[in-house]
Structures are given as structure tokens and as C-alpha cells.
Structure 1
């Protein structure tokens, strides 16, 4: 009898951010993101110079948890989520640990996209979702084997979820998603009239 099993599984973690930590109010977090964006002239200039849609603090602010207590609360929760995910991944960290490397705000307006990318030099990356209006774009994840499939046929539209070449995940406000940093992902065009707000982050092994 034939036996078929799945090998080399790619894991995706999804949970409410407030499942761990002191708790974060999404409305308060959204207001903080807008306040920071309004005051961050260096970030605004970087976005304009680089044709970045909306706003990101990625290239301008590296100390959000120190500047704003609500971001320190986010990190406290993320530390616990990342530890749980690392345990699920069966990581042997030895005497090391996974620590926050960077954390940044994304405010994506109508029509804005974040093109396909990975997060080099990090171990676990992710996003927590602050504002997701109706029609806001999902997260698009790409099968990491795509470049090696060569002459393989495309998958049928009714293929099982674990065989699809792309997976779209539509998180709710307050969710956190985690994945290994080598996993290619993107944010398709935001079709909502309102802005899509998220906070993204990387963890490294030290």
C-alpha cells in the first residue's frame, strides 16, 4: 500500500497578542502610531525619498519600546509568543536565546503595497495588527520551494491548503502572526479606503 507523508513543513503561528503580556488596547496603539508618524520627520522624509507608500518607522526610529510604554507592553507579549513558537519549531538554542532585534510601525494607505521580501539575518519575524478596515489586504506567503520547482505544473485551484503555492492570511485586529524569517511574504494592494496599520518585528539568536 502506498504511503504519502508531508516533509519539511513550514510553520505559521497565529494568536491574539493579548494572550500574553500586560494587554494592549488596539485603539490606543493606533493613536500612538499616528502620533509617532506625525512627529517623525526623518521617517516621513525617508518614505518620500524611497517611494514608500504611507509611513514606516523602519529607517528612522529604533527605540520605540524605550520611547513609548505601549510598545514595551507589546514586546513583553511578543517575547512570550516567540518563545512558544520557538518551542513548537523544536529549536535547540543551546545557551542562547531569541531577542528582539527591531520593531517598527507600518501605515499603509489605500493603493499601497509592500513588495515580496524576506528578513535576512533574523530567525523569527512577524507582525501584530492594529487597524484592519474592511477590504484591507491580507498577508501573502510564498512556498519557499518556488525557485526550485523548475518544470513542475501549476497546482489545481482546489489543491489542499498545504499544497498551494501562495497562502493568504487575513488576521484580525489584535492578532500576531509569526514565521521563520526566510519565508518570503508580501502585502498586496490595500483596497480599503482607510489605512491599514501594523507593527512588524524581527527576533535574532544571541
Structure 2
């Protein structure tokens, strides 16, 4: 979008989007996800109807060897993201994924609006997202302040008056965003499964003794 030189954006919401074109990795991750579902005896359907997640099992997939190639790619993209966000002294910090879990969205499943707390960055990687899969819906941080604005005065595609934004998933797409970013998964209406991997990431000083799913300290 081209903007007038006099128009300034004071508080933008940064979203990092990258494509990981690794079909072999996706097949490996898909197999692992279905294995988790098959072997998970603690999962309660009523807590996640029409789908599956191992969020509540305490598993950190970042430490699973099958997920290591993805973790490495996530760290590389997160470094680029933080560079654009002007992280000072990047060599003084390392990244750690202390929470990574898989999700299966089946027909009629959805996930209500939520934030990922107790972390600096969060994100999602789409292992499999057939055409028509449920969108990720991002909510504007200004949404509570928009109630007094009459949207009838503005065009529908104006980014300045949208309370939420649809972000269609795509196989191999990686999204990284600030953990305060409110988001949800729309209703999944197709017969094929939508497979994703979510994660939460912290930024730590290299003097910290936190190596849970983290970069190798140099």
C-alpha cells in the first residue's frame, strides 16, 4: 500500500511472514503429529472438540529430534524479525522456544481469541493447510477504542478502521508475532485436516542458564 508522505504510522503491529519450502520436512512433521494424537491417552475431546492439540500435555516439541530442522529455521527467521524490530546488541542474547505444540483442526473446529502470555514472541507454522482451511484472524490492538467510529464512513479495505484481519494459512508458511497479539482460528469448514505447530519464544541474556529448546550459546 502506498501512503502519502505526510501520513505516519505510530504504533504498527509487526507480523513476520516467511515460506519454508521443505516438503520432506512437512511429511516428517505430519507423521509425527498423527503419532502424537494416536498415542495421547490424556487428551480430552471435550476440551478441544473436532480436533486435537497436545498443548496441555507438557511436551515441548522443540526438543524432539523430528522437529529440530523446523526449530532451526524458526530461529533464523526470528533473528531477522528481531533485527527489523531493532533488537540492540543481538549477540548478547539467545532465543529459546520453551513451548511448542501441535494442532489438528478438523471440520467444524475452531479456536477462540487468545494471547500467548509469558513470552516475547509467538508464532505458528502450517504443516498442512489445504485450500479452504480456516484462517488465522488477527485482532487490532485498538479494537476496544473503535466503538465510537462509524465504519460506514470508510471503505471496507481501509487498514485504519479494521477491527480484525484474516490471514489465510498456506502449507509451509511461518508466522511470528509479538505474544500480546490477540488472534483466533476461524471455523474450519472443509473435510481435510489443517495441521499446524504453535510455539512461544523467549529472549534471554547469554548469562542465563536456560537451554530449553534454545539456540546454542556461542
The TM-score normalised by the length of structure 1 is 0.86
Q: Aligned pairs, how many?
A: 198
The residue aligned with 1:84 is: 80
C-alpha displacement of 1:52: 4.4
The residue aligned with 1:123 is: 120
Equivalent residues of 1:18, 1:77 under 8 A apart: no
The residue aligned with 1:72 is: 68
Segment drifting more, 170-179 vs 90-99: 90-99
Segments of 5+ residues of structure 1 without an aligned counterpart are none
Q: 2:17 aligns with which of 10, 14, 32?
A: 14
Task: Check if 1:108 corresponds to 2:138.
Answer: no
Structure 2: distance between partners of 1:66 and 1:8? 35
Equivalent residues of 2:130, 2:171 under 8 A apart: no
1:49-198 paired onto structure 2 within 5 Å: 49-67=46-64, 69-92=65-88, 95-154=92-151, 156-161=154-159, 163-198=161-196
RMSD: 2.2
C-alpha displacement of 1:153: 2.1
Task: Check if 1:38 corresponds to 2:41.
Answer: no
Give every structure 1 segment of 4 or more consecutive aligned residues whose post-TM-superposition deviation is greater than 4 Å. none
Structure 1: distance between partners of 2:194 and 2:58? 20
Segment drifting more, 180-189 vs 83-92: 83-92
Equivalent residues of 2:133, 2:169 under 8 A apart: no
Segments of 5+ residues of structure 2 without an aligned counterpart are 205-218
Structure 2: distance between partners of 1:158 and 1:145? 17
Structure 2: distance between partners of 1:111 and 1:49? 14
Equivalent residues of 1:144, 1:183 under 8 A apart: yes
